[in-house]
Amino acid sequence: MEDKLIPEIPKKKPVKRISMQSIADAAGVSRSTVSFVLNGKEKEGRISETVAKKVRLTAKKMNYQINGIARSLRTGCTNTIALVIADISDVFFGTLAYHLQEYAESKGYALIIINTGEKKERLQPVFNMLSNRQVDGIIMVPVSNIEEGKIEDLNPDIPMVYVDRYFKTLTTSRVIINNYEVSKMATQLLIGKGCRKIALVSYTESLMHIQDRKQGYMDALSAVDALDSQFICEVGYFGLKYEKVMDFLKEKYTTCGIDGLLMATGGLTSVASRCLLHLGIKPQLDIQLVGFGRIDVATGVSIPYVKQPMEEICRHSLDILLNQIESKTEKRINCVLPASIVTDSI
């Protein structure tokens, strides 16, 4: 048998890296001018917009790629931000990650997304990994029921901003919504519809976003002398949430005739809505509802819900973080954005 000759695979020519000097020669400017423009510092170099535009266009035509490793060694920055979230499967956190990645990329930053799964024991390995990767900053949603100050103790001096969840003491910059006010407004909406036996489904939680929502609900009902603690259902993040909410709604609707229901989070909005449908209790007919986040269960009717300004939350959190990174300051900022109550059409 004759040996078959295996055709030689032609070797690919190595891709030639375009240097700043090459761009300078093509654009007819100095290398320092190219460096200022491509690093976004044309104003510092007193370079006109016309020249800057010419340099950027030349670099684009020549398919110039920034050497990220060289830049990070030179500047001490990796242009990488980490988003540490509690539960990536939750619609709220998934939406947060989407908008933050879009905005980070527009600012020239890559985003690493890390899921803690609401587990405190994961935080130390997460911070160790982010420190080893030399990320420039962290945007974090704290895990549930963690002690105040614990996250700061674990953080190895990386600039950080909290989003959504927060602690009573302002030790870290945060971007949140007006939890107390919007929860009070939601409860008042139910009161305005004639409801007086209004239940709350919430979490047993030490973090302030849940505490503020609960307090807004309680104060609205106290104002009309309709607060009844037996109508407050609090469940843990783990365990039999569905079963506990089901038992609560069945008992309070059957024996007490609750006529309104406020749900304190997006996840609980979904859980409680499914429980009501399973029990044959018709939303907006047998009981009035207000959700926290758009209801993802097909109820057949329009249900009001608290809508959080997701794009604004992401924009403000990243702007605050980048300012901390660039200015190397630890000024603590408490950014409170207004949420709204909306009703989507079916």
User: Domains of the chain: which residue ranges?
Assistant: 20-66, 75-177+311-338, 179-307
More confident residue, 178 or 299: 178
More confident residue, 326 or 42: 326
Strand partners, 81: 111, 137
| Domains 20-66 and 179-307 alike in fold | no
Please give the average per-residue pLDDT across 7-33, as a whole number. Answer: 75
Using CA atoms, how far apart are residues 222 and 206, in angstroms rounded to an integer?
22
Calculate the CA 217 to chain-centre distance.
24
How far apart, in Å, are the Cα atoms of 21 and each of 29, 34, 71, 289? 9, 8, 16, 65
For the chain, what is the mean pLDDT? 89
Q: Is the pLDDT of residue 138 over 50?
A: yes
Q: What pLDDT shows up at residue 206?
A: 82
- Beta carbons of 143 and 120 less than 8 angstroms apart: yes
Which CATH number is 75-177+311-338's, of 3.20.20.30, 3.40.50.2300, 3.40.50.10950, 3.40.50.300?
3.40.50.2300
Within 8 A by CB and 6+ apart from 76, the residues are none
Q: What pLDDT shows up at residue 73?
A: 44
Percentage of the chain modeled with pLDDT above 70: 91
Q: Is the pLDDT of residue 69 over 50?
A: no
Helix boundaries (H) for the chain = 20-27, 31-38, 49-61, 68-75, 91-106, 123-132, 150-154, 179-192, 208-222, 241-251, 266-279, 310-327
- Beta carbons of 195 and 206 less than 8 angstroms apart: no
Confidence of residue 71 (pLDDT cuts 50, 70, 90): low
* Superfamily classification of domain 20-66: lambda repressor-like DNA-binding domains (1.10.260.40)
> What is the CA angle 155-158-162, rounded to 5?
75
Confidence of residue 64 (pLDDT cuts 50, 70, 90): confident
Architecture of domain 179-307: 3-Layer(aba) Sandwich (3.40)
Please give the average per-residue pLDDT across 149-165, as a whole number. Answer: 94
Using CA atoms, how far apart are residues 128 and 125, in angstroms rounded to an integer?
5
Q: How confident is the model over 258-297, as pLDDT tens digits?
A: 999 999 999 999 999 999 999 999 999 999 999 998 877 7
DSSP 276-299: HHHHTPPBTTTBEEEEES---S--
Q: What pLDDT shows up at residue 1?
A: 47
Please give the average per-residue pLDDT across 340-345, as a whole number. Answer: 88
Give the orientation angle of helix 241-251 with respect to helix 266-279, to 10 degrees.
50
Q: How confident is the model over 4-13, as pLDDT tens digits?
A: 555 555 555 5
Q: How confident is the model over 203-220, as pLDDT tens digits?
A: 998 889 999 999 999 999
Give the orientation angle of helix 49-61 with respect to helix 20-27, to 10 degrees.
120
Please give the average per-residue pLDDT across 22-35, as a whole number. Answer: 88
- Range of weakest confidence among 55-59, 103-107, 328-332: 328-332
Q: What pLDDT shows up at residue 87?
A: 87
- Beta carbons of 310 and 163 less than 8 angstroms apart: no
Tell me which range, 15-19, 81-85, 297-301, is most confidently predicted by mean pLDDT. 81-85
Confidence of residue 194 (pLDDT cuts 50, 70, 90): very high
Pairing mode, if any, of strands 305-307 and 340-342? Answer: antiparallel
